[in-house]
């Protein structure tokens, strides 16, 4: 049984102004992020759930509870499923879960423990009242009907780059509120109106967790970290530039010890990744200002391939079939 949840910590004086600016003055419109809903509707039943051509996301997206199995991360981060998932409680001493209507606050117990541990650490080292937690995984992992390609085996978690306020957010706020864009409109650097040294401390705290293998951030955020980090900078090797990720950072942990069905990812290069050549691609015109093709394609592009159940590890059938 978990201990009673105390109220959110009190904001430090320096943070009060930051949070006020974040939530009021410079916050982007809510359309910058997909909103949730207070009244999520269950998905309609599938006409033929055994159709071999059916996208696996339609099966996993309809599961609202975890499987009655021992915890097991099965397959790869972007092609697998999750047995025996654990739910991250909606409220904790130093965290609150956002977009509860998505039902994506599930993960391998190791991931849940890390989020709880990191939120407490961030409160100490960065002075944030706590973390706002975005998507983790579905109750049984697997592909999602909307959103992520990864987050399938319970070893990924999105953390908002907005500090948790020093009060309990309402259910409506959790569905409607937008995180804050940390990147300038020209996409070349962070926005100094909202980025603070404490953001670096938060990301550094996550990177120093031994189980964390990768942290995905926008290239402008990586650039700022490279510029502002002092002392031991070895942790920067874990921070990887990625498209988007200007409102949140994405934590990925290693396969749990003993989970032989979990497919590991090759570790990132053991260097800071701060050289001009490391970031040049991300600030190229082709990435920042992609041009439409000079001539429209003669044929419409083929629809993106949808992973079917047969393409996932065989154990994922048992995950779906389990009570």
- The answer to pTM > 0.85 is yes
Residue 307 in domain = no
Domain ranges, residue 195? 70-288
Which of the four pLDDT bands, split at 50, 70 and 90, describes residue 301? confident
Residue 11 in domain = no
Nearest-angstrom CA–CA distance, 135 and 98? 8
Residue 323 in domain = no
| Domain count across the chain | 1
For residue 319, pLDDT beyond 90: yes
pLDDT in the model for residue 295: 83
Residue 109 in domain = yes
Q: Which two tokens stand for residue 242?
A: 């990625």
Residue 63 in domain = no
Residue 42 in domain = no
Please report which residue ranges of 3-93 form alpha helices under DSSP H. 13-20, 56-60
* Torsion, Cα of 127, 28, 137, 88 (10° steps): 40
Return the CATH number at 79: 3.30.1380.10
For residue 22, pLDDT beyond 70: no
Residue 110 in domain = yes
Q: What is the mean pLDDT of residues 105-115?
A: 99
Residue 312 in domain = no
The region of weakest confidence among 1-15, 54-68, 185-199, 227-241 is: 1-15
């Amino acid at each position: 049984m978990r201990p009673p949840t105390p109220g959110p910590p009190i904001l430090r004086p320096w943070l009060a102004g930051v949070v006020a600016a974040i939530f009021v003055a410079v916050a982007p419109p809510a359309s910058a992020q997909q909103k949730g809903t207070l009244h999520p509707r269950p998905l309609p039943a599938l006409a033929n759930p055994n159709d071999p051509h059916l996208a696996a996301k339609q099966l996993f997206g309809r599961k609202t509870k975890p499987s009655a199995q021992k915890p097991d991360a099965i397959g790869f981060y972007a092609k697998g499923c999750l047995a025996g998932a654990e739910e991250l409680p909606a409220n904790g001493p130093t965290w609150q879960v956002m977009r509860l209507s998505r039902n994506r606050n599930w993960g391998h117990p190791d991931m849940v423990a890390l989020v709880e541990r990191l939120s407490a650490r961030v409160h100490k080292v960065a002075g944030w009242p706590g973390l706002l937690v975005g998507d983790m995984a579905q109750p049984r992992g697997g592909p999602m009907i909307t959103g992520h390609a990864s987050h399938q085996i319970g070893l990924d978690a999105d953390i908002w780059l907005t500090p948790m306020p020093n009060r309990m957010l309402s259910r409506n706020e959790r569905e409607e509120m937008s995180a804050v864009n940390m990147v300038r409109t020209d996409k070349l650097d962070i926005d100094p109106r909202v980025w603070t040294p404490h953001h670096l401390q938060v990301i550094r705290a996550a990177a120093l967790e031994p189980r964390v293998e990768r942290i995905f951030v926008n290239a402008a955020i990586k650039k700022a970290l490279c510029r502002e980090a002092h002392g031991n900078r070895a942790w920067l090797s874990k921070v990887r530039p990625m498209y988007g990720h200007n409102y949140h950072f994405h934590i990925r942990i290693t396969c749990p010890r003993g989970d032989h069905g979990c497919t590991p990812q090759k570790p990132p290069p053991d260097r800071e990744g701060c050289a001009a050549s490391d970031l040049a691609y991300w600030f190229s015109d082709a990435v920042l200002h992609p041009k439409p093709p000079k001539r429209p394609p003669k044929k419409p592009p083929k629809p993106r391939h949808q992973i079917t159940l047969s393409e996932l590890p065989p154990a994922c059938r048992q995950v779906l079939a389990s009570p």
